[in-house]
Chains A and B, each alone.
Chain A
Amino acid sequence: MKRRTMAGFSAFVLAIGPAASLFAADGVVKFGVSSSKSGNFANVGTSTKNGAEMAKQEINAGGGLPIGNKTYTIELVYVDNGSDRSSASANALTLIGQHQVLAIVGPQSSDRAIAVGEVANSFKTPLVSPWSTSPLTTQNKPFVFRMPVMYDIQATATTKFAAKEWKARKAAVLYDEISPYPTGMAKAFKQAFEKVNGPGSVVAFETFRTNDADFSRQLQAIINSDAEFLYTPQHYEEVPLIVRQARKMGWKKPITGSNSWSGGDLAGKCGDACNGLYFTGNFAAGGAQGKAKVFADHYQKQYKMLPDEVSALTYDAVHMIAEALKKTGGLTGNIVEDRSKLRDQIAATKRFEGVTGTMGYFGTGDPTKCTVLIKIDDNGLLTDYDKVCPEK
């Protein structure tokens, strides 16, 4: 009788297919995902969720995550930080204190990642920001990690590219002085560019404030200078406005930027105005090969759109944490101890092969990996144009 019940149960489990792993697992590991479902970065929030969900489904459908001699399913707890620093910090406290998550993925933008990183580090909870490039995010925070390449590496790559592609020796910069990411990126670029082309080679260094929409005053100053290209490390909300206004005011020289361009639907918002522009980043769906190609195809099939940098980095972040969890050799059930074990394993990562390239942490919070030069092609598709890798 009992055997028959078991057989019936197994048949039921087999019948419902992919969910079978849910019954087979010995437990659940919870990750928190802090992203923007609302506010200026809602688009980034969608990419975050898509990437994270895809990684989760792959792991759970493959029979769960083996840690020690047990198998776990992954559960993701999403919180909406509303693209706001204060909400992001408060949400992180909820994830740590109430949901008791093992690790946090996100926030994406440095503005939130720096603030939340401070909280996660103080609460000894591993945090992986898939997209934040500001050095401050991981500085003196052993529990905080990032997925993308940092400011200085991108700045050097842009400087080299400008010399090679445009023979440019003078640059103009336009950035949002309140938000930490554009500020940090702009300063890093100025430093890298002037190191190569001499002090004063950044001939215009113009600022605006978050939520500004009129850049005519700053653009006029840039047009009046003898800059050979414009560098604007802004997000997809501002870049189309800046490009259109600059073109309208008669600026015909190149406009370039950093990985913040690749989050959200920049090409869609900008239309033809942005076609042919280059920027530095971590991933582009166009021209993807190998693992990245498989990911891009799978993603397109599931969400009816191409993956952007944020979704690819988030996908990699979830897989990278899962790999580190496997290496812990078993969970104690005491969340404080397990978090420390997980942190040690993430920091010890030497070679993780993701869809955004191969990377390692080697005891730090910043990955060693290649920078990608991305071109917006004539159809508005972000394509992998070139790579600049760390010297070995």
Chain B
Amino acid sequence: MEQEKRQRRWFGNPFSVLTDKLNIRGKLMVAFAVMIILTLVVIVIATLSQRFANTTIDELVRVHGKIARLSLDIEKTVRVMNGYEKDFLLNYNRIGIAEAKNQYLNKFIAAGGEAYQKLYEIQQSPIDAKEKASAQHAMDAINNYLATFMSTVNILELQVNPEFGELTKLRQSVDILRQSMATVASPTLQALFQSLLFHMQEYTIAPDSQFGERVLGEAKSFREAIGSWAENPALQGALLAQIGDFTKWFADVVKTDETISNRIQAYQQAVKQAEPVIQAFLKNATDNEARAVVRMEEATALVQKIVIGVGIAAVLLGLLISFGLSKGLTRQINLIMELLSEMGMGNFKARTEVVSRDELGEMASALNGMLDSITALIQSQEERDAIQDSIMKLMNEISDLTEGDLTARAEVTEDITGAIADSFNTMAEQFGDIVRQVQSATFSVDATATDVSRRTTDLAVKSTDQAQQVSAAIKALNDMAASIRQVSEHAARSAEVSEMSRSNAREGADAVDKTNRAMDEIREQINETARSIKRLGESSMEIGNVVEIINNIADRTSILALNASIQAAMAGDAGYGFAVVAEEVQRLAESSSNSTKQIDMLVKSIQSEIKDVSNRMDESIGKVVQGSRLADGAHEKLQQIETVSNQLADLIEAITQAAAQQVQMSENLVENMVVVGGVSDETSKTSQETAGLMNLLNATAHKLREAVETFKIENAKTA
């Protein structure tokens, strides 16, 4: 029976299981303690969640943000390296290799060093092994680019250095050959030399190994021709040595040209390989940042859920506690009322169940004991009837009490119920006092509990606000990521433009080069032509003089012959022999005259040569025209480069603006974070208020204790 009751209590109210051993004060203390603990738990959970969210933001901003920024920097540095590389190749001819190394190559290497340090910084960040490996990959790619370009410059220097470069040496050997050849009259050698020079020009315009072979072939046949030329042995020896020098330098130049073109291919290959590696690296960094943003969003959502869940749990638990407490107090009263109603109906065997161990429970036990005594005292039916009547009367009088009206009083009679009525009245009075105080205490508790729950709701709302602020921060960060991406696109486009400007510039440089070479050739040809004309003029003048002299001689010989034949005729037979001589002389004069005619023809042929020369002059003029056209072309190309450079400048401007926007975004982010800080301040203030409320609850509990203490003293007196 007792067990059964206990079981019912187990299922009835779990709260009472914990509290049924306590008195009313104890129960109230437990209830308040639970409320305080609940409030504290809510505050702790909210704080922890906030810290968790902050840590996630830290991870996003400090690690991935930094890596993304460094990656962008690295990509920019590689672009800068590309720029220096192009500047070097465009300008080394103009400013000299030493200056170009100083101005561009050293900066190129320095940029490589910067990229290395940034990549190392990334490797030092808390990132996983895969990311570390990809940073190493990018580092290796950039270093490979550096190494191949430096080696290209080294080989280039061997060729173009103004002190010891092969080109300088080749030019010097050609100048020496020219000086020597100016003193050689042999047209065959001149023709071979001109042809050699022509083919060399051809090679300089298009440095191709086939042209190179042809020049070397020309040099060989020139050398052979000199070898079999016997007019001037001293000059022949010098020329052989000089053409030997020329051949050596030219062969070196051809070899180096080939090496250079191989090296250029190698480093362009390296650039091509480095590009996708760095792009992939950059993309990876951006992706990681995006993933971190998603993680942060998830964390914030989780925090929101936890805060709401804990809030709801706290409200439910609060309700359960107030329900349990009120039920624990009223249940024993109801049981006592049931017993009294049984007694009213004359059932003195009825006993009440003792469900609590507090003061009400003691009262129920006392009633049970009293009923035991009453039952023993009642001897007869009359007594019982009388007692029943008295009790019925008492019941009527105190029935209001059962309905909660504690103002009802029983009449105190002489009989057995008088004492009961008296004690009932006293009890009702004191009970009324207690209930009044309990009521007021309960109202206070109720009000406080309402307040606490309102504050908790408030806290939940603020936490939600906080979560929204955090979301705003996320959005700003997203925007930032978008603009970073935009910057990267601009950078990519600027790379294309730079590529365009490079090719244009290269064409321009080629065109200018060609023009220059054509000009050189023209100058050379004009010089040569002028010399030929001079020589021819001198020759023809001399020939004219000689022809005139011969003509005179022939004329005079003819007259002499005529005179001689006249003299011979006058001498008669004796002059016959002389006449024969005169005739021979006459024939000689005729043949002289014929020779003069032939010379005349030769002069005519010389004139035709002069005409030929004038044709060559025309050709030269044609070359000049071609040269000027080429120069025009170069000019136009250079103008295009300027336009492209302008576009490049615009793009860079756009990049700068995007960066400024990025800065603005960061400021917004900071502002949002400040708001988050404010919210957490408020949360702390609310906690303080809660603490104040707890003090109030404490005071109320004190009041209740006083009330209950009063009850206890009366009880002792009664006992």
Do these two chains interact? Answer: yes
Contacts of A98 in B (CB 8 A): 136, 140
7 extra A-B contacts, CB within 8 A, seeds A90-B148, A119-B146? A89-B150, A90-B147, A90-B150, A97-B136, A177-B163, A178-B164, A336-B121
- The residue in B110, B120, B121, B150 that gathers the most chain A C-beta atoms within 10 A of its C-beta is B150
* Distance (whole angstroms) from the CB of A150 to the closest CB of chain B: 20
Beta-carbon contact of B147 and A89 below 8 Å: yes
Which chain B residue lies CB-closest to A90? B147
Q: List 26 A-B contacts (CB under 8 A).
A: A85-B151, A85-B154, A86-B150, A86-B151, A86-B154, A89-B146, A89-B147, A90-B147, A93-B143, A93-B146, A93-B147, A97-B136, A97-B139, A97-B140, A98-B136, A118-B106, A119-B109, A119-B113, A119-B146, A121-B113, A122-B110, A123-B116, A124-B113, A209-B164, A335-B120, A336-B121
Q: Does A376 contact B (CB under 8 A)?
A: no
Which chain B residue lies CB-closest to A120? B113
A158 CA to B113 CA, complexed, in Å: 40
Q: Does B598 contact A (CB under 8 A)?
A: no
Q: Does A220 contact B (CB under 8 A)?
A: no
Q: Does A168 contact B (CB under 8 A)?
A: no
Contacts of A288 in B (CB 8 A): none
A137 CA to B604 CA, complexed, in Å: 71
The 3 closest A-B pairs by CB, nearest first: A86-B151, A122-B113, A90-B147
Contacts of B117 in A (CB 8 A): 123-124, 336
A119 CA to B109 CA, complexed, in Å: 6
Beta-carbon contact of A334 and B124 below 8 Å: yes
Knowing A89-B151, A123-B116, A177-B163, the reply to whether A118 touches B124 (Cβ < 8 A) is: no
Q: Does B63 contact A (CB under 8 A)?
A: no
A115 CA to B154 CA, complexed, in Å: 9
Q: Does A94 contact B (CB under 8 A)?
A: yes
* Distance (whole angstroms) from the CB of A241 to the closest CB of chain B: 19
Beta-carbon contact of B164 and A336 below 8 Å: no
Which chain A residue lies CB-closest to B143? A93
Interface string of B143-167 (1 = CB under 8 A from A): 1101110110011001000011000
Q: Does A102 contact B (CB under 8 A)?
A: no
Which chain A residue lies CB-closest to B164? A177
Beta-carbon contact of A122 and B112 below 8 Å: yes
* Distance (whole angstroms) from the CB of B245 to the closest CB of chain A: 11
Which chain A residue lies CB-closest to B117? A336
Beta-carbon contact of A115 and B150 below 8 Å: yes
Contacts of B110 in A (CB 8 A): 122
Interface string of A255-282 (1 = CB under 8 A from B): 0000000000000000000000000000
Q: Which of B's residues lie within 8 Å of A, judged by CB?
A: 106, 109-110, 112-113, 116-117, 120-121, 124, 136, 139-140, 143-144, 146-148, 150-151, 154-155, 158, 163-164
A94 CA to B112 CA, complexed, in Å: 13
Which chain A residue lies CB-closest to B110? A122
Which chain B residue lies CB-closest to A118? B109
Contacts of B116 in A (CB 8 A): 96-97, 123
Beta-carbon contact of B164 and A94 below 8 Å: no
Knowing A85-B154, A86-B154, A115-B154, the reply to whether A97 touches B113 (Cβ < 8 A) is: no
Contacts of A123 in B (CB 8 A): 112-113, 116-117
Contacts of B113 in A (CB 8 A): 119, 121-124
Contacts of B148 in A (CB 8 A): 90
Q: Which of A's residues lie within 8 Å of B, judged by CB?
A: 85-87, 89-90, 93-94, 96-98, 115, 118-119, 121-124, 177-178, 207, 209, 334-336
* Distance (whole angstroms) from the CB of B267 to the closest CB of chain A: 11
Which chain A residue lies CB-closest to B106? A118
Contacts of B124 in A (CB 8 A): 334
Which chain B residue lies CB-closest to A91? B147
A97 CA to B121 CA, complexed, in Å: 13
Beta-carbon contact of B143 and A97 below 8 Å: yes
Contacts of B106 in A (CB 8 A): 118, 122
* Distance (whole angstroms) from the CB of B645 to the closest CB of chain A: 27
Contacts of B155 in A (CB 8 A): 86
A99 CA to B112 CA, complexed, in Å: 17
Beta-carbon contact of A94 and B143 below 8 Å: yes
Contacts of A207 in B (CB 8 A): 164
Contacts of A97 in B (CB 8 A): 116, 136, 139-140, 143
Contacts of B121 in A (CB 8 A): 336
Beta-carbon contact of B151 and A90 below 8 Å: yes
Contacts of B154 in A (CB 8 A): 85-86, 115
Which chain B residue lies CB-closest to A122? B113
Which chain B residue lies CB-closest to A92? B147
Q: Which of A94, A124, A178 contacts B158 (CB 8 A)?
A: A178
* Distance (whole angstroms) from the CB of B218 to the closest CB of chain A: 25
* Distance (whole angstroms) from the CB of A357 to the closest CB of chain B: 33
Which chain B residue lies CB-closest to A176? B164
A90 CA to B140 CA, complexed, in Å: 11
A86 CA to B267 CA, complexed, in Å: 12
A129 CA to B106 CA, complexed, in Å: 19
A93 CA to B144 CA, complexed, in Å: 8
Which chain A residue lies CB-closest to B169? A209
Contacts of B139 in A (CB 8 A): 97
* Distance (whole angstroms) from the CB of A345 to the closest CB of chain B: 20
* Distance (whole angstroms) from the CB of B415 to the closest CB of chain A: 93
* Distance (whole angstroms) from the CB of B384 to the closest CB of chain A: 90
A177 CA to B169 CA, complexed, in Å: 12
Q: Which of A87, A90, A209, A336 contacts B120 (CB 8 A)?
A: A336
Which chain A residue lies CB-closest to B120? A336
A94 CA to B136 CA, complexed, in Å: 11
A78 CA to B120 CA, complexed, in Å: 22
- The residue in A85, A87, A93 that gathers the most chain B C-beta atoms within 10 A of its C-beta is A93
Contacts of A85 in B (CB 8 A): 151, 154
A89 CA to B101 CA, complexed, in Å: 15
* Distance (whole angstroms) from the CB of B174 to the closest CB of chain A: 18
- The residue in A85, A97, A119 that gathers the most chain B C-beta atoms within 10 A of its C-beta is A97
A93 CA to B115 CA, complexed, in Å: 12
A90 CA to B112 CA, complexed, in Å: 12
* Distance (whole angstroms) from the CB of B154 to the closest CB of chain A: 5
* Distance (whole angstroms) from the CB of B133 to the closest CB of chain A: 12
Contacts of A87 in B (CB 8 A): 151
* Distance (whole angstroms) from the CB of A363 to the closest CB of chain B: 22
A207 CA to B113 CA, complexed, in Å: 37
A118 CA to B108 CA, complexed, in Å: 11
Q: Which of B109, B144, B147, B151 contacts A122 (CB 8 A)?
A: B109
- The residue in A115, A123, A207, A335 that gathers the most chain B C-beta atoms within 10 A of its C-beta is A123
A97 CA to B164 CA, complexed, in Å: 34
Contacts of A86 in B (CB 8 A): 147, 150-151, 154-155
* Distance (whole angstroms) from the CB of A161 to the closest CB of chain B: 29
Contacts of B146 in A (CB 8 A): 89, 93, 119
Contacts of A90 in B (CB 8 A): 143-144, 147-148, 150-151
Contacts of B151 in A (CB 8 A): 85-87, 89-90
Which chain A residue lies CB-closest to B113? A122
A94 CA to B141 CA, complexed, in Å: 11
Contacts of A118 in B (CB 8 A): 106, 109
* Distance (whole angstroms) from the CB of B157 to the closest CB of chain A: 9
A178 CA to B155 CA, complexed, in Å: 12
Contacts of B112 in A (CB 8 A): 119, 122-123
* Distance (whole angstroms) from the CB of A13 to the closest CB of chain B: 32
* Distance (whole angstroms) from the CB of B172 to the closest CB of chain A: 13
A389 CA to B413 CA, complexed, in Å: 136
A93 CA to B150 CA, complexed, in Å: 11
Which chain B residue lies CB-closest to A335? B120
* Distance (whole angstroms) from the CB of B580 to the closest CB of chain A: 71
* Distance (whole angstroms) from the CB of B394 to the closest CB of chain A: 87
A87 CA to B124 CA, complexed, in Å: 29
Contacts of A336 in B (CB 8 A): 117, 120-121
Contacts of B144 in A (CB 8 A): 90, 93
Which chain A residue lies CB-closest to B114? A122
Contacts of A119 in B (CB 8 A): 109, 112-113, 146, 150
A92 CA to B560 CA, complexed, in Å: 100
Contacts of B136 in A (CB 8 A): 97-98
